[in-house]
Amino acid sequence: MLKCTHQRVVVGPGDDAGVLRFKSNLLVETVDVITPIVDDPYTFGAICAANSVSDVYAMGGRPLSALAILGFSSCDYPSSAVKSLLKGCIDKLKEAGACLIGGHSIDDKEFKFGLAVTGAIDNKTILKVAGASAGEVLILTKPLGTGIITSAAKRGKVKSAALNRVIASMLKLNKTASMAAVACGSQSATDVTGFGLLGHGLNMAKSSKADLVIFYDKVPLMDEVKKCAAAGLVPKGAQRNLEFCKKDVIFSNGISKEEQLILSDPQTSGGLLIALPPKGLKKFDRIAKKERMPYWIIGEVIKGKGRIIVR
């Protein structure tokens, strides 16, 4: 892993976002680019924005501004599609309390869009992947399955109702989850995105020098995920994630290959995985109920050496 020893760097490469000291302020910065997972340009732009600001929320920060990064072939896409894409992005950033201040486009055969996001953060409440401690509970704030369902949808294998629920999940900001984690004493969180629950969880475990125990039956799944996985409708990214992680993951005998792949499914705009001290759980629950934010307790942190144990 790259290291940065610059005097302004508070959190460098290896976490969800970087944290930089500028005079008396702390800035949190990140960048993310994805390819289309839905057909509607406006919806895709909004999902991209929610996905990009998620890293800021995973650190306990507040997004302030963003720069757009767009790759597309001008011969294949009309200007109206790009305008709709940017409108969706701007509207979602506004919901997050941030604004789009510029960007850059390049000619590219494959359509892609993303954001470089800058936010503010409090030095006393930074959430790091390295902060999980034995005895804490593991909380997940969104169900798994965006990769599997959107991949199956492209093949016409899922009902529109199931896809619409996945889209609604991807559009939901992690703002409340981040605020609740900070308010309830968490020191460690990560957002579950391209490396799946296992990949991002493993980064937390290794960085914290602890083991994460995940109870598979407690992990929330989106509608039709089990059915799609059983039918082999799993993206290649899930298979690559599992191959990369499996040497540091201990699966109980009852965990099937399909279930392992579900835990490895790459998420777009997934939820936060939060390590929370038990004493903060009641307050977290009160905030979640008040804000109507779903969450699931999926496991615990124990003493160990950087592994995940799935039971």
Does residue 306 lie within any of the structural domains?
yes
Does residue 3 lie within any of the structural domains?
no
- Global pTM value: 0.93
Q: What is the CATH number of the domain that holds 21?
A: 3.30.1330.10
Which among 98, 124, 150 is the end of a domain? 124
pLDDT greater than 60 at residue 1: no
Which among 78, 97, 124 is the end of a domain? 124
84 and 160 both lie in a single domain: no
Inter-residue contact 42 to 86 (CB < 8 Å): no
Angle of CA points 33, 195, 2, to nearest 5°: 75
Name residues whose C-beta falls within 8 Å of residue 40's C-beta, 6 or more positions apart in sequence.
84
The pLDDT score that the predictor gives to residue 6 is 73
Does residue 2 lie within any of the structural domains?
no
Per-residue pLDDT of 216-243, as tens digits, reads 999 999 999 999 999 999 999 999 999 9
31 and 132 both lie in a single domain: no
**How far does CA 53 lie from the centroid of its chain?**
9
190 and 229 both lie in a single domain: yes
Does residue 99 lie within any of the structural domains?
yes
CA distance 172 to 27: 24
pLDDT greater than 70 at residue 4: no
Q: Residue holding tokens 């610059």?
A: 6
Q: Any idea how long the chain is? A: 311
Per-residue pLDDT of 16-38, as tens digits, reads 788 878 777 899 999 999 999 99
119 and 131 both lie in a single domain: no
96 and 194 both lie in a single domain: no
Provide the pLDDT confidence category of residue 104 given band limits of 50, 70 and 90.
Answer: very high
19 and 166 both lie in a single domain: no
137 and 107 both lie in a single domain: no
Mean pLDDT of 145-161: 94
217 and 105 both lie in a single domain: no
146 and 158 both lie in a single domain: yes
145 and 118 both lie in a single domain: no
Per-residue pLDDT of 66-80, as tens digits, reads 999 999 988 778 889
Does residue 1 lie within any of the structural domains?
no
The pLDDT score that the predictor gives to residue 73 is 87
Per-residue pLDDT of 182-198, as tens digits, reads 999 999 999 999 999 99
How large is the C-alpha radius of gyration of the chain? 19
pLDDT greater than 90 at residue 208: yes
Does residue 232 lie within any of the structural domains?
yes
**Nearest in space to 117 (alpha carbons), one of 36, 50, 195, 34:** 50
Q: What is the CATH number of the domain that holds 259?
A: 3.90.650.10
148 and 61 both lie in a single domain: no
pLDDT greater than 60 at residue 154: yes
Does residue 57 lie within any of the structural domains?
yes
CA distance 249 to 158: 30
118 and 155 both lie in a single domain: no
Per-residue pLDDT of 239-256, as tens digits, reads 999 999 999 999 999 999
Which among 76, 96, 124 is the end of a domain? 124
Structurally, how many domains does the chain consist of?
A: 2
Could you tell me the residue range of the domain that residue 57 belongs to? 9-124
> Is 270 in a helix, a strand, or coil?
coil
Mean pLDDT of 175-187: 98
The pLDDT score that the predictor gives to residue 5 is 64
CA distance 278 to 245: 28
Does residue 4 lie within any of the structural domains?
no
